[in-house]
Amino acid sequence: RKEVEQDPGPFNVPEGATVAFNCTYSNSASQSFFWYRQDCRKEPKLLMSVYSSGNEDGRFTAQLNRASQYISLLIRDSKLSDSATYLCVVPTPHSGGSNYKLTFGKGTLLTVNP
């Protein structure tokens, strides 16, 4: 299994739709997780952090299933402005666990249509 694997997409949904992205990770020692958003030709920006079973922020819900090594991001009532690439990010241990690096998934492109 790859370190971080995401739905390849792209996803095209109408405004108001609910859309979910999935992400799996290979290292069971990973403890915290992130979803970043990247607009076209811009830098990634943190969308949500996930430290326990899940996190909710308005229309966005992130869920974590440690047993299955699976993270999801749910967007409800999609807006045109949600169109972006969503990156699943997993800290993976390095050098015996004292150092970590963030491993980014390849991203899932979402386009919300009027």
Contact residues toward another protein (CB under 8 A) are 31-32, 34, 41-46, 49, 87, 91, 94-95, 99-107
CB of 79 to another protein, least distance (A): 23
Identity of the residue, 23 or 78, whose beta carbon is nearer to another protein in the bound complex: 23
Q: Which residue lies nearer to another protein by CB, 78 or 85?
A: 85
Instruction: Please report how close the Cβ of residue 16 comes to another protein at its closest, in angstroms.
Output: 29
Nearer to another protein, 49 or 65 (CB): 49
Which amino acid, 94? H
Minimum CB distance to another protein, residue 107 (Å) = 6
C-alpha pair distances (Å), 52 with each of 30, 32, 80: 12, 8, 30
What is the rounded distance in angstroms from the CA atom of residue 25 to the CA atom of residue 38? 20
Nearer to another protein, 80 or 102 (CB): 102
Q: For residue 67, give the DSSP letter.
A: T
Within 8 A by CB and 6+ apart from 43, the residues are none
C-alpha to C-alpha distance for 112 and 15, rounded to whole angstroms: 6
